[in-house]
Amino acid sequence: MIGAHDLSWSYGSAQVLSAVSLSAPHGRVLGLIGPNGSGKTTLLRLLHGVLASPTGTVTVDGDRLAALPAREAARRVAVVVQESGGESALTVAETVLLGRSPHLSTFQRTGAVDHEIAAGALARVGASHLAGRSFAGLSGGERQRVLIARALAQEATHLLLDEPTNHLDIRYQHEVLGIVAGLAHDLHRTVVVVLHDLNLAARYCDDVVLLGGGRIAASGPVEEVLVPEVLEPVYGIGIERVRAGGQLHLLFHPHIRIQEDSRA
Amino acid sequence: MTTGTATRPDAAAVLDLGAVRRRTSAWLLGLVAGLLATVVAGVGIGAFSVPAGTIAQVVAHHVVGWPGERSWSAPVDAIVWQVRLPRVLLGALVGAGLAICGVALQAMVRNVLADPYLLGVNSGASSGAAAAILFGLGAGVVEHTLQVTAFLGALAASLLVLLVARSAGRVTSVRLLLAGVAVGYALYALTSFLIFASGSAEGARSVMFWLLGSLGLARWDLPLAVVAVVVVGATGALTLWGRRLDALSIGDETAHTLGVHPERFRLQLLVLVALCVGVVVSAAGSIGFVGLVVPHLARRAVGGAHVRVVAVAALMGAILLVWADVLARTLFAPQEIPIGIITSLVGAPFLLVLIRRLHATAA
């Protein structure tokens, strides 16, 4: 369970986030959604501690994240960031094995257990056949799956992902998010995922936090937040909600411009 | 039928780790043998050549006292034991030290063109050496004046680079690069000014010779011992830090998510590299290109994992520099040319090939 209380961040004089609080429980997928520049990625960075909020706190299972030693924090929270390491000279297998480093001391080498976990993680994202390839030689989609495998190899109880469906074709978007949702629902992990695509959020998230202008515009279960009345003022376009095959879908009508004030 | 464990595919096989391990073992074995052969050749080759058997006997005589009776002349003994062996060992250590520092810095700033002199260490050492050679700074105060002043200069330069890089807050790769370049230029100007102000042509020539690198100062003395301890220690430390270097070379954020504190680790690396390069430069002058080129060769040989790259680069650097010194001693014998000229002559074409490759992959 990840808890955030009163987080804020500014780049220079530009306030990116202010007074953000949220809670991501075990066994559920929390989606961070919002328009470009609304602070989704910054919030994710604050949640895994690479940025330290000047105000408020982040807790992981009740412990303050900032107070945990770096390796202990990495054993609890695994992250798939957007920084891909495209110049990396490592092979895919070595990249995934790096996920074991929080579990190994300086003097330990990776052993049979680590190899098994890494192989399992690769299999889970359907990338076993890439193991011997050079990471730099992979396509964007293959890289993304390998990076998710690395995060899985960390065996952390919390998984944070920054737009994991970037560069993926439709099939892999669903496969990857299916894997991620499975970790929450089957293995009872905490999953927080930044998503652009509201329909993917509707399908795979249990709860969402909608960011707008650096603040939380709305948060709660998907059914309650992904409604036109809430989304339209934030995104500024017409949005229609339909249900097909038992699944929530959003349709977008860009020609209908919504003034933020008209709804507020 | 097979048992349960046998039917389960071996994870190491799934991960395809065998091939790279075999290749690394083969390289390490070959390089160790190559280094031994290089040391023997380095001691044997020269104006007066000494056969390998005699070298072995001289070394055995001095190290373990066997054979007790000398069957070789005193001059041969002096050439092998007093002159060439310390020189070859210093060359091997300097080459290894420059190579591993290049590996560390290229990982740290994520730039394949980074080299050990990035931190301005060599410019600082040069200023120190120039002050000692031209104005007798430190003379009579300590033994090994030249090495000590050069080392202090190197240390001061890297401290300055660190302070400049840190002055605006976090030490990032770009800030470090810029600070290194700025401090390097400033100290280069200082060295030039010292040469200019001394007005001594002979002094200027000695400084120039030292700037281009030479192993001519090698003796069985304290500086050699210090270089040995520092280079071997740094190689060990960087090997143990292999995974952390892997993580840092991908990116700061990735390193953080894998439990490596990027800034703290970068600072530890900087201190290690500054110490290692400082010691190496003060013993042998600033020898270019080894620290830039060898990491690339090592990565081509055994891939990108730093736990392997460090060891392989150390051995390659050692071999390369001993041979460069052999050329420096013999090409224009009896005149000795600065070793930096040889390494640059070999290194520059390599760099051009590298640039071509970079363009090819970018296209």
- Facing residue for A87 by CB, picked from B14, B110, B241: B110
pTM score: 0.90
Residue B66, sorted as left (phi over 0), alpha (psi -120 to 50) or beta, turns out to be beta
What is the rounded CA–CA span in Å between residue B230 and residue B236? 10
**Measured between CB atoms, does B167 come within 8 Å of chain A?**
no
**SS (HEC) of A31-66:** EEECCCCCCHHHHHHHHHCCCCCCCCEEEECCEEHH
DSSP state of A135: G
Average pLDDT, chain B: 87
The amino acid at A63 = D
For every residue of B232-296, DSSP letters joined together read HHHHHHHHHTHHHHHHHHH-HHHHHHTT--HHHHHHHHHHHHHHHHHHHHHHH----SHHHHHHH
Note which residues in 144-173 of chain A have CB less than 8 A from chain B. Answer: 151, 154
Nearest neighbour of B304 by CB, restricted to A88, A97, A116 = A88
Six token digits for residue B230: 């520092």
pLDDT tens across A198-224, in order? 999 999 999 999 999 889 999 999 999
A47, closest residue in chain B (CA to CA): B257
What is the C-alpha to C-alpha distance for residues B242 and A110, in angstroms, rounded to an integer?
12
Q: Rounded distance, CA B121 to CA A111, Å?
A: 39
Closest to B108 in 3D by CA, of B174, B56, B51: B174
Chain center to CA of B62: 28
Contact in structure between A129 and A121 (CB atoms under 8 Å): no
Closest Cβ–Cβ partner in B19, B253, B303 for A83: B253
Which tens digits make up the pLDDT trace of B306-346? 999 999 999 999 999 999 999 999 998 888 889 999 998 88
- Supply φ then ψ for residue A191, to 5 degrees: -125, 130
The domain ranges of chain B are: 82-356
Rg (CA), chain A: 19
For chain B, how big is the Rg over CA atoms in Å?
Answer: 22
Taking the C-alpha atoms of residue B248 and residue B103, their distance in angstroms, rounded to an integer, is 12
Q: So what's the ipTM on this one?
A: 0.90
Q: Which residue in B257, B265, B297 has the most chain A C-beta atoms within 10 A of its own C-beta, making it the best mutation to test that interface?
A: B257
Distance CA A207, CA B44 (A): 75
- Rounded CA-CA distance B289/B155 in Å is 21
**Residue pointed to by tokens 């990076």:** A147
**Which positions ≥6 away from A61 have C-beta within 8 Å?**
A1, A76, A157
Binary contact (B246, A94; C-beta < 8 A): yes
What is the per-residue pLDDT for B87?
A: 96
The total of other beta-carbon atoms located within 10 Å of residue A168's CB is: 20
Q: Which spans in B78-120 are helix H? A: 85-109
Domains and CATH numbers, chain A: 2-226 (3.40.50.300), 227-264 (no CATH)
Q: How confident is the model at residue A263 (pLDDT cuts 50, 70, 90)?
A: very low
Contact present, A157 and A189 (Cβ < 8 Å) = yes
Is pLDDT above 50 for B202? Answer: yes
Please tell us whether the domain made up of B82-356 is placed in CATH 2.102.10.10.
Answer: no
Residue B177 banded pLDDT, cuts 50, 70, 90: confident
Q: Residue B110: CB partners within 8 Å, gap ≥ 6?
A: A87, B173, B249, B251
Instruction: Say which residue the tokens 């052969």 belong to.
Output: B37
